A = this chain, B = another copy of it.
Amino acid sequence: MNGDRDRELIQSDETLFAIIDALKQSDGVGVSQVASAVGVSKSTAHRHLSTLLKHQYVVRTASGYRLGLRFLDLGGHVREQYPSFADVEPKVTELAETTGELAQFIAPEHGKGIFVFRRTGEKAVRTEARVGKRVFLHHTAAGKATLAAMSDETVSEIIDRWGLPAKTDATTTDRDALFSELNLIRDRGFAIDADEHLTGLWSVGCPVMATDDRVLGGISVAGPRHRMKDAGIESALPELLQAIASEIELNITYR
Contacts and interface: CB of A to CB of B under 8 A. Distances in A.
Interface of A: 8-10, 12-14, 16-17, 20, 24, 27, 46-48, 50-52, 54-57, 59, 66-81, 107, 109-110, 114, 116, 130-134
A70 B74 CA distance: 10
B69 A81 contact: no
A125 to B, nearest CB: 16
Contacts of A55: 14, 17
A56 B132 contact: no
B76 A27 contact: no
A107 B20 CA distance: 21
Nearest to A19: B13
Contacts of A131: 72, 75-76
A133 to B, nearest CB: 7
Nearest to A111: B56
A20 B13 CA distance: 12
A12 B10 contact: yes
Contact of A110 (B13, B46, B59, B132): B59
Contacts of A110: 56, 59, 68
Contact of A78 (B12, B52, B67, B78): B67
A142 to B, nearest CB: 14
B69 A109 contact: yes
Contacts of A10: 12, 16, 47-48, 51
Given A51-B14, A68-B109, A81-B27, A73 B9 contact: no
B72 A132 contact: yes
Contacts of A68: 78, 109-110
A130 B76 contact: yes
